[in-house]
Amino acid sequence: MLSRRRQRQAEWEERIAREQAEFQELACQVFGLPLSTIPGAIGKVESWWCQQYQWLKETGYLLRPRYAPGWVPSWQDTKKRWVECEDSQVPARDHVLDATRMADGVFVTLKLITKSRHPYEIEIGRLFSTEPLVSDLYNYSVPLYDVLDVPDDEDQALLVMPLLRPFHRPRFDTCGEVVDFFRQLFLGLRFIHKQHVAHRDCMGPNVMMDATPLYIDPYHPQDLDMRRDFSGKARYFTRTERPPRYFFIDFGISRRYAADNNAPLEYPIWGGDKTVPEFQKADDACNPFPTDIYYLGNMIRENFLLHAFFVVQKKRGLEFMLPLVKDMVQDDPVKRPTMDEVVARFNEILKELSSWKLRSRVIYKEDGNIEGLYHGVIHWTRRISYIVRRVSAIPER
């Protein structure tokens, strides 16, 4: 059995190596870059980032060694497996890459945008990233640190933002941590709406987490489980001990309206969530603010209630959210609550939740009996410690 696994692994690595070689040949033809057939070599899309390395460095942002001129793979002429090396890690999305801000060593994200395609993204990003809004505690919109105009291309720009990760990694430990997540999202979308901005795509992947407080070791931006230098697994605290902050990202199809325009009309723009009821029946213009309510409610329904990643200990889980979420995803947009009403109703829900409920362990569906027992023992040890130290059941900053 073991030999078969090794054979399949070897075949997989050979296939990846062939594909990388094909990419490299095409990249050489298109971009004039040196041809390399080394497994894990620079692919077609990454070549653009390589070409920007020196300019970005002069601007104050340093890409990882993989993208530096004259890069030599760390596994070359060694017995290291290329897939286990830090400099073999490729970005998950072509237009997004991590970097280091050289002035202070802060890890950032660079996002390449086409300004003619998303003409309001920079404007709205700057709105939420300047005073007085940037200092508002209810502002959960991703900060925009900088905007870099790409040389020799007036239609392209790089947005510089914090390095974020998916909201569900690492796993939630308690019901109170999930409640804190919901609270930040509700307050954040209400804040966006109060600035007369409709997000128009606030579904799951566009909610991310600044996990800086959580992590003991800086994590690798492409392999989130590993330390940045690939020396081992990245260690972290629970969200109760070191509460993270969540952010709405990607304002590419967002719009801002005049303060006196309480019911703007926009023709449907399909975002990541294709289930919006008002988009199914016709292409008629509709108010994007109730659509935002649907997006957020459906994200909670899909990820935490309907096809939940997890349930909370005992017989019941997050069922206290069902009535509110049900109203948020009603087919008729007019019947959905506003974000003011969502926040008010959520605050009433919180008053009914006991400390015992909030400290209940989050149990993931994929946990087996042994893994469940392990997490249960660890959870109870932490739980007793939190109670003794009077650590809040809902994470507090």
Round to the nearest angstrom and report the end-to-end CA distance of the chain.
Answer: 50
Q: Is 303 helix (H, G, I), strand (E, B) or coil?
A: helix
Output the CATH code of domain 165-389. 1.10.510.10
Q: Give the 3-state DSSP-derived string for 188-240, with helices as H, strands as E and coil as C.
A: HHHHHHHCCEECCCCCHHHEEEECCCCECCCECCCCCCEECCCCCECCECCCC
What are the pLDDT digits (tens) for 56-78? 999 999 999 999 999 989 998 88
Q: In what order do the strands lie in the sheet with 146-149?
A: 61-62, 96-101, 106-114, 156-162, 146-149
C-alpha span between 73 and 358 (Å, rounded): 48
Question: What's the pLDDT at 37?
Answer: 52
C-alpha span between 60 and 255 (Å, rounded): 31
149 within 8 A of 256, measured Cβ to Cβ: no
C-alpha span between 240 and 396 (Å, rounded): 8
Q: Dig out the tokens for 196 from the structure.
A: 């007369």
**Phi, psi (5° rounding) for residue 247?**
-135, 145
How many CB atoms within 10 Å of residue 116? Answer: 9
Give the alpha-carbon dihedral of 175, 176, 181, 186, to 10 degrees.
Answer: 110
Beta bridge partners of 159: 111, 147
Q: Encode the chain (397 residues) as per-residue pLDDT tens digits.
A: 445 555 655 665 565 556 555 555 554 554 444 444 566 888 888 999 999 999 999 999 999 999 999 998 999 888 889 989 999 999 989 999 999 999 999 999 999 999 999 999 999 999 999 999 999 999 999 999 999 999 999 999 999 999 999 999 998 999 999 999 999 999 999 999 999 999 999 999 999 999 999 999 999 999 999 999 999 999 999 999 999 999 999 999 999 999 999 899 999 888 889 999 999 977 889 999 999 999 999 999 999 886 544 444 332 478 899 999 999 999 999 999 999 999 999 999 999 999 999 998 887 666 655 555 555 667 767 777 788 788 888 998 7
* The model's pTM: 0.85
Contact residues for 26 (Cβ-Cβ < 8 A; gap 6+): 44
What are the pLDDT digits (tens) for 258-308? 999 989 999 988 888 999 999 997 788 999 999 999 999 999 999 988 654
Question: What's the pLDDT at 391?
Answer: 83
Question: What's the pLDDT at 48?
Answer: 94
What are the pLDDT digits (tens) for 371-380? 555 556 677 6
Residue 97: closest CA among 54, 36, 152, 56: 56
53 within 8 A of 67, measured Cβ to Cβ: yes
C-alpha span between 369 and 385 (Å, rounded): 24
What are the pLDDT digits (tens) for 77-87? 888 899 899 99
